[in-house]
Amino acid sequence: MDAAIHLKDIVPAAQNNITTMFILLEKSRIKIKGESKTCMALVADETAAVHLELWGEDCDAFEAGDIIRLEKGIFSNSGDGNKMNLKAGRRGRIKKMGEFTMAFVETPNMSELQWVVDPNNPKKYIQLAVLSPHSRVFPPLP
């Protein structure tokens, strides 16, 4: 089992290399695209938040307040626009570990950072700018 990393340390990459734990804060409405279901979720740990894409049955299986472990997940371009989202992908695993008892922060949000390819290393991404301190899809509660 890979060691879990904090959300503040995730970096976009074209490989399933992210194992991490977080709590699910909010879920968007489920979208049905042909055969497949998908939805977006705001997840966070005590260091950062990020947007998580859920697919298929996972969309219904997880609820706000669930503590979740993601193994071999991928943090990459979502396809629409240039936003980086976390997902399990075909090779990752996502599993409920508990409920409620995890601290979190909503800022920074790793999906609201602008990432660019490192000029010194074309295989790596680096943070360029903060687009928004917190999620614009799931604004913080008043």
Partner 1 sequence: MEVAFWSGRSDDLGYLNQEYTELNHALLYGVLTVPQFAKIHIKHLHGIVSDGYALFVSLALRVVLELYNKLVDSVKQQLIWVVHEIVGVSGVGFDGLLVGLLRHTVGCDYTDRGLWLCFELINLFLANFTSLLEEEPSVLTSALYVYLRLLADHCRVSGNVRVDLLKKLEIEFCVKMLRGQFHLSMKIGRDLVRLLQDLVHVPEFRCIWKDLVLDATTFRTEGFSDVAQLYSTRTSSRYFLLRVTPEMELQLRFLLVHVKFSHLKRYQMWFAKKFLFEPERETLIVDMIRFICCAHHPSNEIIHSDSVPRWAIIGWLLSCCRKKYVEANAKLALFYDWLFFDERMDNIMNIEPAMLLMVCSMPQYVGMTQSLLEFLLLLVDNYDQVRSYTIAKGVSLAFNSLVTEGVNSLDTLTSCDALSPFLKERLKKLLSSTNETLPHQLYPGRLSHCSADASPLETPSSHPKHEPAGA
Point out which residues bind partner 1 (CB under 8 A).
Answer: 25, 64-65, 99-101, 103-105, 141
In the complex with partner 1, the residue whose CB is nearer, 14 or 64, is: 64
In the complex with partner 1, the residue whose CB is nearer, 101 or 120, is: 101
Distance CA 89, CA 131 (A): 25
In the complex with partner 1, the residue whose CB is nearer, 18 or 44, is: 44
Smallest distance, partner 1 to C-beta of residue 8, A: 17
Smallest distance, partner 1 to C-beta of residue 65, A: 4
Q: Find residue 86's DSSP bridge partners.
A: 52, 75
According to DSSP, the β-strands at 84-87 and 49-55 are parallel
Of residues 72, 28, 77, the one with CA closest to residue 54: 28
Q: DSSP character for 88? A: -
In the complex with partner 1, the residue whose CB is nearer, 18 or 67, is: 67
CB 110 within 8 A of CB 49: yes
Smallest distance, partner 1 to C-beta of residue 100, A: 5
Smallest distance, partner 1 to C-beta of residue 10, A: 21
* Locus of tokens 């697919």: 55
